[in-house]
Homo-oligomer: A and B are copies of this chain.
Protein backbone atom coordinates (compact mmCIF):
# COMPACT_ATOMS: atom_id res chain seq x y z
CA UNK A 1 0.00 0.00 0.00
CA UNK A 2 1.33 3.40 -0.96
CA UNK A 3 1.66 6.13 1.58
CA UNK A 4 -0.90 8.93 1.67
CA UNK A 5 0.18 11.92 -0.40
CA UNK A 6 1.72 14.68 1.72
CA UNK A 7 0.72 18.17 0.74
CA UNK A 8 1.95 21.52 1.92
CA UNK A 9 0.27 24.91 1.67
CA UNK A 10 2.20 28.16 1.55
CA UNK A 11 -0.01 31.14 2.28
CA UNK A 12 -2.93 29.76 4.25
CA UNK A 13 -3.71 33.16 5.73
CA UNK A 14 -5.47 34.59 2.65
CA UNK A 15 -8.96 33.83 1.36
CA UNK A 16 -7.76 31.31 -1.23
CA UNK A 17 -5.51 29.74 1.40
CA UNK A 18 -8.44 29.24 3.75
CA UNK A 19 -10.45 27.49 1.05
CA UNK A 20 -7.47 25.36 0.13
CA UNK A 21 -7.04 24.28 3.76
CA UNK A 22 -10.73 23.44 3.97
CA UNK A 23 -10.65 21.34 0.81
CA UNK A 24 -7.43 19.48 1.58
CA UNK A 25 -8.40 18.74 5.19
CA UNK A 26 -11.63 17.13 3.95
CA UNK A 27 -10.25 15.45 0.83
CA UNK A 28 -11.10 11.73 0.92
CA UNK A 29 -7.70 10.78 -0.52
CA UNK A 30 -5.76 12.79 2.06
CA UNK A 31 -7.35 11.49 5.23
CA UNK A 32 -4.91 11.35 8.10
CA UNK A 33 -2.37 13.50 6.28
CA UNK A 34 -3.22 17.16 6.90
CA UNK A 35 -1.20 19.63 4.86
CA UNK A 36 1.99 21.13 6.24
CA UNK A 37 1.21 24.83 6.52
CA UNK A 38 4.14 27.12 5.88
CA UNK A 39 4.64 30.83 5.46
CA UNK A 40 6.03 33.99 6.91
CA UNK A 41 5.80 33.81 10.69
CA UNK A 42 6.52 36.66 13.13
CA UNK A 43 9.46 36.13 15.43
CA UNK A 44 7.20 36.05 18.45
CA UNK A 45 5.24 33.21 16.91
CA UNK A 46 8.34 31.31 15.83
CA UNK A 47 9.02 30.73 19.51
CA UNK A 48 5.77 28.83 19.87
CA UNK A 49 6.36 26.83 16.72
CA UNK A 50 4.15 28.92 14.44
CA UNK A 51 0.62 30.32 14.50
CA UNK A 52 -2.20 27.90 15.36
CA UNK A 53 -4.70 27.50 12.53
CA UNK A 54 -7.47 28.01 15.10
CA UNK A 55 -6.22 31.60 15.44
CA UNK A 56 -5.80 32.22 11.71
CA UNK A 57 -9.16 30.73 10.73
CA UNK A 58 -11.45 30.39 13.76
CA UNK A 59 -14.25 29.47 11.35
CA UNK A 60 -12.46 26.16 10.67
CA UNK A 61 -12.56 25.18 14.34
CA UNK A 62 -14.66 22.10 14.80
CA UNK A 63 -15.15 19.59 12.04
CA UNK A 64 -11.86 20.15 10.29
CA UNK A 65 -9.56 18.65 12.89
CA UNK A 66 -7.24 21.64 12.93
CA UNK A 67 -6.43 21.47 16.62
CA UNK A 68 -2.67 21.29 16.86
CA UNK A 69 -2.06 22.45 13.30
CA UNK A 70 0.08 25.54 12.83
CA UNK A 71 1.41 27.74 10.09
CA UNK A 72 5.12 27.10 10.57
CA UNK A 73 8.00 29.23 9.31
CA UNK A 74 8.78 28.26 5.73
CA UNK A 75 11.98 26.25 5.22
CA UNK A 76 13.07 23.67 2.72
CA UNK A 77 14.32 21.54 5.57
CA UNK A 78 10.85 21.37 7.00
CA UNK A 79 9.36 20.33 3.66
CA UNK A 80 12.01 17.67 3.21
CA UNK A 81 11.64 16.42 6.76
CA UNK A 82 7.88 16.14 6.35
CA UNK A 83 8.39 14.41 2.97
CA UNK A 84 6.15 16.85 1.14
CA UNK A 85 5.09 15.59 -2.30
CA UNK A 86 3.02 18.54 -3.51
CA UNK A 87 3.39 22.18 -2.55
CA UNK A 88 0.40 24.49 -3.10
CA UNK A 89 1.42 28.12 -3.28
CA UNK A 90 -1.28 30.64 -2.45
CA UNK A 91 1.33 33.34 -2.29
CA UNK A 92 2.14 36.54 -4.21
CA UNK A 93 3.69 35.87 -7.61
CA UNK A 94 7.07 37.16 -6.50
CA UNK A 95 7.20 34.36 -3.95
CA UNK A 96 6.26 31.78 -6.54
CA UNK A 97 8.96 32.98 -8.93
CA UNK A 98 11.47 32.42 -6.14
CA UNK A 99 10.26 29.15 -4.62
CA UNK A 100 8.89 27.15 -7.53
CA UNK A 101 12.29 26.56 -9.22
CA UNK A 102 13.81 25.38 -5.94
CA UNK A 103 10.87 23.05 -5.29
CA UNK A 104 11.26 21.49 -8.72
CA UNK A 105 14.95 20.88 -8.05
CA UNK A 106 14.03 19.09 -4.86
CA UNK A 107 11.47 16.93 -6.63
CA UNK A 108 8.48 18.61 -5.03
CA UNK A 109 5.55 19.10 -7.37
CA UNK A 110 4.18 22.66 -7.34
CA UNK A 111 0.60 23.83 -7.84
CA UNK A 112 0.94 27.58 -7.98
CA UNK A 113 -2.15 29.78 -7.60
CA UNK A 114 -0.39 33.00 -8.58
CA UNK A 115 0.25 34.46 -12.02
CA UNK A 116 3.96 33.61 -11.86
CA UNK A 117 4.06 30.81 -14.43
CA UNK A 118 0.85 31.13 -16.43
CA UNK A 119 2.12 33.01 -19.44
CA UNK A 120 4.27 31.68 -22.25
CA UNK A 121 4.56 34.88 -24.25
CA UNK A 122 7.01 37.40 -22.82
CA UNK A 123 4.86 40.28 -24.04
CA UNK A 124 1.95 39.03 -21.97
CA UNK A 125 4.19 38.59 -18.93
CA UNK A 126 5.35 42.21 -19.15
CA UNK A 127 2.58 43.44 -16.82
CA UNK A 128 4.12 41.39 -14.02
CA UNK A 129 7.63 42.79 -14.55
CA UNK A 130 9.28 39.68 -13.14
CA UNK A 131 12.84 40.33 -11.95
CA UNK A 132 14.13 37.13 -13.47
CA UNK A 133 12.32 37.34 -16.79
CA UNK A 134 14.65 36.67 -19.67
CA UNK A 135 16.98 34.46 -17.65
CA UNK A 136 17.60 30.96 -18.84
CA UNK A 137 16.69 29.57 -15.43
CA UNK A 138 13.27 31.16 -15.57
CA UNK A 139 12.75 29.97 -19.14
CA UNK A 140 13.58 26.42 -18.12
CA UNK A 141 11.02 26.48 -15.34
CA UNK A 142 8.44 28.14 -17.57
CA UNK A 143 8.90 25.37 -20.12
CA UNK A 144 7.81 22.83 -17.51
CA UNK A 145 4.74 24.76 -16.43
CA UNK A 146 1.33 23.53 -17.51
CA UNK A 147 -1.64 25.90 -17.49
CA UNK A 148 -3.98 24.25 -15.03
CA UNK A 149 -7.28 24.33 -16.85
CA UNK A 150 -8.26 20.64 -16.75
CA UNK A 151 -11.00 21.16 -19.32
CA UNK A 152 -8.33 22.23 -21.81
CA UNK A 153 -5.14 20.45 -20.79
CA UNK A 154 -6.15 17.32 -18.91
CA UNK A 155 -3.49 15.20 -20.57
CA UNK A 156 -0.55 17.46 -19.85
CA UNK A 157 -1.66 18.06 -16.27
CA UNK A 158 -1.47 14.34 -15.62
CA UNK A 159 2.32 14.28 -15.77
CA UNK A 160 3.06 17.85 -14.77
CA UNK A 161 5.56 18.96 -12.17
CA UNK A 162 4.48 22.58 -12.11
CA UNK A 163 0.87 23.63 -12.48
CA UNK A 164 0.12 27.30 -13.15
CA UNK A 165 -3.38 27.49 -11.75
CA UNK A 166 -5.52 29.86 -13.86
CA UNK A 167 -6.71 33.30 -12.79
CA UNK A 168 -10.29 33.60 -11.55
CA UNK A 169 -11.47 36.06 -14.21
CA UNK A 170 -9.51 34.15 -16.85
CA UNK A 171 -11.29 30.89 -16.03
CA UNK A 172 -14.68 32.58 -16.33
CA UNK A 173 -13.83 33.81 -19.84
CA UNK A 174 -11.66 30.99 -21.22
CA UNK A 175 -14.07 28.14 -20.51
CA UNK A 176 -17.08 29.71 -22.27
CA UNK A 177 -15.07 31.14 -25.18
CA UNK A 178 -12.52 28.46 -26.01
CA UNK A 179 -15.07 25.96 -27.41
CA UNK A 180 -16.60 28.54 -29.77
CA UNK A 181 -13.27 29.92 -30.98
CA UNK A 182 -11.68 26.49 -31.31
CA UNK A 183 -14.62 25.37 -33.44
CA UNK A 184 -13.91 28.28 -35.76
CA UNK A 185 -17.36 29.78 -35.30
CA UNK A 186 -16.45 33.24 -34.05
CA UNK A 187 -15.92 36.12 -36.44
CA UNK A 188 -12.81 37.61 -34.87
CA UNK A 189 -12.92 40.67 -37.07
CA UNK A 190 -15.68 42.06 -34.88
CA UNK A 191 -13.92 41.87 -31.58
CA UNK A 192 -15.16 39.96 -28.57
CA UNK A 193 -16.27 41.80 -25.44
CA UNK A 194 -15.89 40.11 -22.04
CA UNK A 195 -17.54 42.20 -19.34
CA UNK A 196 -16.73 40.58 -15.99
CA UNK A 197 -17.93 41.31 -12.46
CA UNK A 198 -16.30 39.91 -9.34
CA UNK A 199 -17.01 39.87 -5.60
CA UNK A 200 -14.72 41.59 -3.13
CA UNK A 201 -12.74 38.53 -2.03
CA UNK A 202 -11.04 38.76 -5.41
CA UNK A 203 -9.43 42.01 -4.25
CA UNK A 204 -7.55 40.25 -1.47
CA UNK A 205 -7.51 40.35 2.30
CA UNK A 206 -5.45 43.50 2.78
CA UNK A 207 -7.62 46.30 4.14
CA UNK A 208 -7.51 49.15 1.61
CA UNK A 209 -9.65 52.12 0.68
CA UNK A 210 -11.12 49.97 -2.10
CA UNK A 211 -12.00 47.01 0.12
CA UNK A 212 -13.38 49.18 2.96
CA UNK A 213 -17.03 48.29 3.46
CA UNK A 214 -18.07 51.88 2.85
CA UNK A 215 -16.46 51.92 -0.62
CA UNK A 216 -17.37 48.41 -1.69
CA UNK A 217 -20.95 48.17 -0.44
CA UNK A 218 -23.83 49.73 -2.37
CA UNK A 219 -21.46 50.40 -5.24
CA UNK A 220 -20.13 49.12 -8.56
CA UNK A 221 -16.97 50.24 -10.29
CA UNK A 222 -15.02 49.27 -13.39
CA UNK A 223 -11.23 49.04 -13.20
CA UNK A 224 -8.17 47.86 -15.08
CA UNK A 225 -9.60 48.99 -18.44
CA UNK A 226 -7.53 47.68 -21.37
CA UNK A 227 -4.85 46.52 -18.95
CA UNK A 228 -5.87 43.82 -16.47
CA UNK A 229 -3.25 41.15 -15.79
CA UNK A 230 -5.52 38.28 -16.69
CA UNK A 231 -5.76 39.46 -20.29
CA UNK A 232 -2.65 37.54 -21.34
CA UNK A 233 -4.22 34.29 -20.19
CA UNK A 234 -7.24 34.95 -22.37
CA UNK A 235 -5.09 35.54 -25.42
CA UNK A 236 -2.90 32.47 -24.95
CA UNK A 237 -5.58 30.02 -23.87
CA UNK A 238 -8.33 31.04 -26.25
CA UNK A 239 -5.96 31.77 -29.10
CA UNK A 240 -6.57 35.44 -29.76
CA UNK A 241 -4.58 38.55 -30.52
CA UNK A 242 -4.93 41.50 -28.21
CA UNK A 243 -7.13 43.45 -30.63
CA UNK A 244 -9.61 40.59 -30.86
CA UNK A 245 -10.94 40.87 -27.32
CA UNK A 246 -11.68 43.56 -24.77
CA UNK A 247 -11.88 42.42 -21.15
CA UNK A 248 -13.19 44.69 -18.38
CA UNK A 249 -13.41 43.68 -14.71
CA UNK A 250 -15.81 45.30 -12.22
CA UNK A 251 -15.94 45.18 -8.43
CA UNK A 252 -19.30 43.84 -7.21
CA UNK A 253 -20.71 44.48 -3.73
CA UNK A 254 -20.82 40.79 -2.76
CA UNK A 255 -18.30 38.63 -0.92
CA UNK A 256 -17.61 36.07 -3.66
CA UNK A 257 -18.56 35.01 -7.15
CA UNK A 258 -17.82 36.09 -10.73
CA UNK A 259 -20.23 36.60 -13.60
CA UNK A 260 -18.88 37.25 -17.07
CA UNK A 261 -21.07 38.48 -19.90
CA UNK A 262 -19.41 37.69 -23.20
CA UNK A 263 -20.43 39.10 -26.56
CA UNK A 264 -19.48 37.33 -29.79
CA UNK A 265 -20.48 37.47 -33.44
CA UNK A 266 -20.52 34.34 -35.52
CA UNK A 267 -19.12 33.90 -39.03
CA UNK A 268 -22.28 32.09 -40.05
CA UNK A 269 -25.80 31.75 -38.75
CA UNK A 270 -26.04 29.47 -35.72
CA UNK A 271 -28.88 27.97 -33.73
CA UNK A 272 -29.33 27.22 -30.04
CA UNK A 273 -28.91 23.57 -30.92
CA UNK A 274 -25.74 23.96 -32.95
CA UNK A 275 -24.04 25.93 -30.17
CA UNK A 276 -25.33 23.66 -27.43
CA UNK A 277 -23.80 20.75 -29.30
CA UNK A 278 -20.43 22.48 -29.51
CA UNK A 279 -20.42 23.01 -25.75
CA UNK A 280 -21.62 19.52 -24.93
CA UNK A 281 -18.90 17.91 -27.01
CA UNK A 282 -16.19 20.15 -25.68
CA UNK A 283 -17.13 19.54 -22.06
CA UNK A 284 -17.95 15.86 -22.35
CA UNK A 285 -16.09 14.21 -19.48
CA UNK A 286 -15.66 17.51 -17.66
CA UNK A 287 -17.56 17.10 -14.41
CA UNK A 288 -16.92 20.63 -13.17
CA UNK A 289 -18.69 22.50 -15.99
CA UNK A 290 -22.48 22.80 -15.91
CA UNK A 291 -24.25 23.80 -19.12
CA UNK A 292 -27.57 25.64 -18.79
CA UNK A 293 -30.16 25.02 -21.41
CA UNK A 294 -33.18 27.02 -20.25
CA UNK A 295 -32.40 29.82 -17.88
CA UNK A 296 -29.08 31.61 -17.53
CA UNK A 297 -26.65 30.95 -14.70
CA UNK A 298 -26.63 33.40 -11.78
CA UNK A 299 -23.82 34.00 -9.33
CA UNK A 300 -25.75 32.45 -6.44
CA UNK A 301 -26.00 29.09 -8.21
CA UNK A 302 -22.25 28.60 -8.40
CA UNK A 303 -21.05 30.25 -5.21
CA UNK A 304 -19.50 27.74 -2.76
CA UNK A 305 -19.22 25.14 -5.52
CA UNK A 306 -16.37 24.26 -7.85
CA UNK A 307 -18.54 24.50 -10.96
CA UNK A 308 -18.16 26.82 -13.87
CA UNK A 309 -21.71 27.44 -15.07
CA UNK A 310 -22.29 28.38 -18.71
CA UNK A 311 -25.42 29.54 -20.48
CA UNK A 312 -26.01 31.51 -23.68
CA UNK A 313 -28.54 33.16 -25.90
CA UNK A 314 -28.52 33.83 -29.64
CA UNK A 315 -30.34 36.70 -31.31
CA UNK A 316 -32.96 36.26 -34.02
CA UNK A 317 -30.45 36.67 -36.81
CA UNK A 318 -28.44 33.74 -35.48
CA UNK A 319 -25.32 35.86 -35.86
CA UNK A 320 -24.87 37.33 -32.40
CA UNK A 321 -24.48 35.45 -29.15
CA UNK A 322 -24.22 36.40 -25.51
CA UNK A 323 -22.60 33.82 -23.25
CA UNK A 324 -22.99 34.16 -19.48
CA UNK A 325 -20.62 32.28 -17.20
CA UNK A 326 -20.49 32.11 -13.41
CA UNK A 327 -18.11 30.62 -10.90
CA UNK A 328 -16.85 31.06 -7.36
CA UNK A 329 -13.63 33.04 -7.60
CA UNK A 330 -12.14 31.27 -4.56
CA UNK A 331 -13.06 27.76 -5.73
CA UNK A 332 -13.23 27.14 -9.48
CA UNK A 333 -11.38 30.45 -9.78
CA UNK A 334 -8.60 29.44 -7.36
CA UNK A 335 -8.41 26.73 -4.69
CA UNK A 336 -11.07 24.40 -6.01
CA UNK A 337 -9.44 24.32 -9.41
CA UNK A 338 -6.07 23.73 -7.71
CA UNK A 339 -7.49 20.64 -6.01
CA UNK A 340 -9.10 19.61 -9.29
CA UNK A 341 -5.63 19.78 -10.83
CA UNK A 342 -4.26 17.64 -8.02
CA UNK A 343 -6.98 15.09 -8.71
CA UNK A 344 -6.16 14.97 -12.42
CA UNK A 345 -2.45 14.80 -11.74
CA UNK A 346 -2.89 11.87 -9.35
CA UNK A 347 -5.33 10.03 -11.57
CA UNK A 348 -8.08 10.38 -8.96
CA UNK A 349 -11.67 11.24 -9.76
CA UNK A 350 -11.60 14.78 -11.09
CA UNK A 351 -14.35 15.91 -8.75
CA UNK A 352 -13.18 14.10 -5.62
CA UNK A 353 -13.34 16.29 -2.55
CA UNK A 354 -15.02 19.04 -4.55
CA UNK A 355 -18.72 18.25 -4.27
- Judge whether A320 and B62 touch: CB under 8 Å: no
Q: Does A138 contact B (CB under 8 A)?
A: no
List residues 206-244 of chain A with CB under 8 A from any CB of chain B. 207-209, 211-223, 225-226, 243
Chain B residues, Cβ within 8 Å of A193: 193, 195, 263
Q: Does A277 contact B (CB under 8 A)?
A: no
- Judge whether A254 and B290 touch: CB under 8 Å: no
Chain B residues, Cβ within 8 Å of A63: 305, 307, 351, 354-355
List residues 288-323 of chain A with CB under 8 A from any CB of chain B. 290, 295-296, 298-301, 303-305, 307, 313, 315-317, 319-320, 322
- Judge whether B351 and A220 touch: CB under 8 Å: no
Q: Does A73 contact B (CB under 8 A)?
A: no
Chain multiplicity (copies): 4
Provide the bound-state CA to CA distance between A96 and B25, in Å: 40
Chain B residues, Cβ within 8 Å of A183: none
- Judge whether B215 and A216 touch: CB under 8 Å: no
* Interface size classification for chain A: 35 or more
How near does chain B come to A206, taking the closest CB pair, in angstroms? Answer: 8
- Judge whether B322 and A59 touch: CB under 8 Å: no
- Judge whether B226 and A214 touch: CB under 8 Å: no
Query: In the complex, which residue of chain B has the Cβ closest to the Cβ of A26?
Result: B355
List residues 241-269 of chain A with CB under 8 A from any CB of chain B. 243, 246, 248, 250, 252-255, 257, 259, 261, 263, 265
- Judge whether B15 and A214 touch: CB under 8 Å: yes
Q: Mark A315-338, 1 if CB is under 8 A from B, else 0.
A: 111011010100000000000000
Residue in A200, A298, A315, A317 with the greatest tally of chain B CB atoms within 10 Å = A298
Q: Does A101 contact B (CB under 8 A)?
A: no
- Judge whether A219 and B263 touch: CB under 8 Å: no
Query: In the complex, which residue of chain B has the Cβ closest to the Cβ of A59?
Result: B301
Q: Does A161 contact B (CB under 8 A)?
A: no
How near does chain B come to A262, taking the closest CB pair, in angstroms? Answer: 10
How near does chain B come to A60, taking the closest CB pair, in angstroms? Answer: 10
Interchain CB contact (< 8 A) of A208 among B207, B301, B320: B207
A: residues with CB less than 8 A from B are: 15, 58-59, 61-64, 190-191, 193, 195, 197, 200-201, 205, 207-209, 211-223, 225-226, 243, 246, 248, 250, 252-255, 257, 259, 261, 263, 265, 287, 290, 295-296, 298-301, 303-305, 307, 313, 315-317, 319-320, 322, 324, 351, 354-355
Q: A63-B351, A252-B253 are in contact. List 18 more A-B contacts (CB 8 A).
A: A59-B300, A190-B191, A201-B214, A205-B214, A207-B207, A207-B208, A207-B209, A211-B212, A211-B213, A212-B212, A213-B217, A216-B217, A217-B253, A218-B255, A220-B254, A225-B313, A248-B261, A250-B259
Interface CB pairs A-B, < 8 A, 9: A15-B214, A62-B307, A190-B190, A190-B191, A191-B265, A191-B320, A193-B193, A243-B317, A246-B315
